[in-house]
Structure 1
Amino acid sequence: MRDRLEDLLRAGEVDGLHAVAAVRGGQCLLEYYGAGADFAWGDSLGVVDFGPETLHDIRSVTKSVTALVYGIALGDGLVPPPAEPLLRRFPQYLDLAADPQRARLTIEHALTMSLGVEWREDLPYTSPANAEIAMELAPDRYRYILERPILEQPGTRWTYCGGATALLGRLIAEGTGQSLPQYGKAVLFAPLGIDTFDWMTGADGVASAASGLRLAPRDLARLGELVLAEGSWEGRRIVPADWIRTMLQPRLQTSWGSQYGYQWYIESMGGHRLVAGMGNGGQRLFVLPDLDLAVAITAGNYDDPDHWRTPLTVMERVILPAVA
């Protein structure tokens, strides 16, 4: 496996690859750490020599982690169930709740990114025309999300929307009385033995539920192992098993044809069912249940429209041939 990866690296076929951690049945099959230019959001970190303890942006894989945290809070009775009206939990926006179209929004529409509102993230993340950047710049991020023009009935279509995840982060913070990082550490990271992480915040000090997490790749893979075990770790229940199953149930189709559950993608790879968290630049958490396999990949191909190539090549030409 290592030889295959080295061949691809020499051939320049996995440009920008920073790290790989592949775990099967609790055993590490492959760990690779390279070097390359890296960023924490938009801040340059220069050229980094990556190692087992080096934190890395996981960008929008954060969304999938937020869904895990939401499930824990739901199991503890601290956040509303998916069917509950969304604006009921934002009483400060009575004017928006009075709109019959917006009153139809539910928590599930946020979980499935099907709010039906105008939201464009297909623009550079350096541009204020990108809706996620505009949200970060807005004086009230939650009003910004909830007052976006309505384009279609909620639940009709999947539209990539970091704002939907931001709403989930707010519900977690409100329901638990803790910040998202504080609660996430207590109920998810600490029980998994993940001692070091960073959850970046916007200018208002609010942790980004959509893209703010920095984790070491081996710890990211551990989250995949937790999903494989339907929420249990070393005999301890961390995430309710029924939430894992519900979270990974296909509900809508993405714009490129894969399925989407609650903040997780559901696809097929090499004839095997795959569930995944995906992030800008080539950040991936791949979970293949029938192979008992979790793979974390980090890369530095930020804002590259072909950033998907490097993690896909690693999986198809290095990992799967060794295990499938």
Structure 2
Amino acid sequence: MDMSMAERVEAVLRDGRAPGFHGLVVMRGGEPVLERYGAGQDRRLGEALGHVTFDRDTLHDVRSVSKSVVALLYGVALGDGLVPEPGAGLLAQFPHYPDLAADPGRAHLTIEHALTMTLGLDWNEDAPYTSPANSEIAMELAPDRYRYVLERPVAEEAGKRWRYCGGATALLGGIIARGVGRPLEEYAAEALFGPLGITSFAWTKGGDGVVSAAAGLRLRPVDLAAVGQLVLDGGRGIVPADWLGETLRSRVPIDGSFTYGYHWYVVTGERRRVLGIGNGGQLLAVVPGEELVVAVTGGNYDGDANGSWALLAAVLGD
């Protein structure tokens, strides 16, 4: 039976194939075509929120989709001449660590290595995001998050292999904040969210008062979809179009057609799509060939995200 998008989505929800479902917004051709919300246990990064009934106005952690937003902010700041080009030296952006800059094993690192997560440094986020055994959590607990990242042991030559690293995003956030002369969240409000009409957001901070660039952003699902629509629309003069072209270009292989650009996942092939992906079932999918944007939020933190992928598949008719 040929089912409509809404019917396919309802079937996934009805059959219990999306446990932990919190929200879904679908836009096609710039217009909202489907919006659904659920209820369940939720968390803000590092804090239990209890049982939440979600609606259009409920903020939700987007977790590592934050990384993709940071990449957009880097492009805005670059267009304004406030941050260096990706080819610039990474350690040069942190001149207060002369000992690290003098290390020949790190001296060749560039900002692009951070953008593509190919730093070659020892980093492991396999442990739950509640454990200091997870490198990102250890970074958040460290007295100096930037030094913590930059002094990780060199594991391999930079630029050779993708290794998931929230520390790379922390460095980018630090470079942006330093370049624009204000905290990352303030710049985001002025340079990205404001022009998009997004007035309600939050960005969780670490103990040092610095936002968790890699995972702390909280948005309404409709506003997460608005970010995706901006990408689909080529930046609309808010994010430079040439930067988006560079950001969404497949640069580093991960697994088959699943590749990485500048802090965005790029699925190559006939049905090309770009993705922001976050722990717990957070998804932002942009399918340029079909004028489609899909935003999904969920609560399966440190668990599988199969339900969110099932919803995306239902929207796409896969």
Which category describes the TM-score, using the shorter chain as reference length? over 0.9
Distance 2:227 2:142 in 1: 32
Report the alpha carbon displacement of residue 43 of structure 1 after superposing the two structures with TM. 1.2
1:167 corresponding residue in structure 2: 171
1:295 corresponding residue in structure 2: 294
Distance 1:179 1:190 in 2: 15
1:14 paired residue among 11, 18, 34: 18
Distance 1:134 1:204 in 2: 13
Report the alpha carbon displacement of residue 10 of structure 1 after superposing the two structures with TM. 2.0
1:315 paired residue among 307, 312, 317: 312
Name the amino acid aligned to 2:265: Y
1:199 paired residue among 197, 203, 212: 203
1:118 corresponding residue in structure 2: 122
- Relative distance call for 1:111 and 1:125 in structure 2 (3 A) is same
Report the alpha carbon displacement of residue 6 of structure 1 after superposing the two structures with TM. 2.3
Task: Say yes or no: does 1:272 pair with 2:271.
Answer: yes
How many residues are matched?
Answer: 314
Name the amino acid aligned to 2:299: G
| Bigger mean CA deviation after superposition, 59-68 or 3-12 | 3-12
Report the alpha carbon displacement of residue 41 of structure 1 after superposing the two structures with TM. 1.2
Distance 2:65 2:206 in 1: 17
Within a 5 Å distance, the mapping from 1:194-273 to structure 2 comes to 194-232=198-236, 237-254=237-254, 258-268=258-268, 271-273=270-272
Distance 2:266 2:92 in 1: 30
- Relative distance call for 1:298 and 1:69 in structure 2 (3 A) is same
Partner SS state of residue 149, structure 2: helix
2:102 corresponding residue in structure 1: 98
Distance 1:153 1:252 in 2: 14
Distance 2:84 2:24 in 1: 36
Identical aligned pairs, as a percentage? Answer: 57
Distance 1:268 1:152 in 2: 27
2:34 paired residue among 21, 30, 46: 30
Distance 2:249 2:316 in 1: 24
Q: Is the 8 A contact 1:132 1:162 kept in 2?
A: yes
List runs of 5+ in structure 1 lacking aligned partners. none
Distance 1:42 1:128 in 2: 12
2:55 corresponding residue in structure 1: 51
1:68 corresponding residue in structure 2: 72
Q: Which of structure 1's runs of 4+ aligned residues deviate more than 3 A? A: none
Distance 1:150 1:267 in 2: 29
Name the amino acid aligned to 1:260: Y
Distance 1:2 1:96 in 2: 54
1:178 corresponding residue in structure 2: 182
Distance 2:62 2:156 in 1: 31
List per-residue Cα deviations over 1:208-262 (Å, max 9, x = no partner).
1100100000000000000011100xxxx10100000000111111267610000
Q: Is the 8 A contact 1:158 1:255 kept in 2?
A: no
Distance 2:13 2:256 in 1: 28
List per-residue Cα deviations over 1:24-55 (Å, max 9, x = no partner).
11111100011111110131111111111100
1:283 corresponding residue in structure 2: 282
Partner SS state of residue 103, structure 1: coil
Partner SS state of residue 194, structure 2: helix
Partner SS state of residue 192, structure 1: coil
> What is the RMSD of the two structures over their aligned residues, measured on CA atoms?
1.3
Partner SS state of residue 23, structure 1: strand
List per-residue Cα deviations over 1:270-318 (Å, max 9, x = no partner).
x4101000000000000000111111000011100x21x112211212x
List per-residue Cα deviations over 1:123-168 (Å, max 9, x = no partner).
1111111100110111111111001000111101100000000000
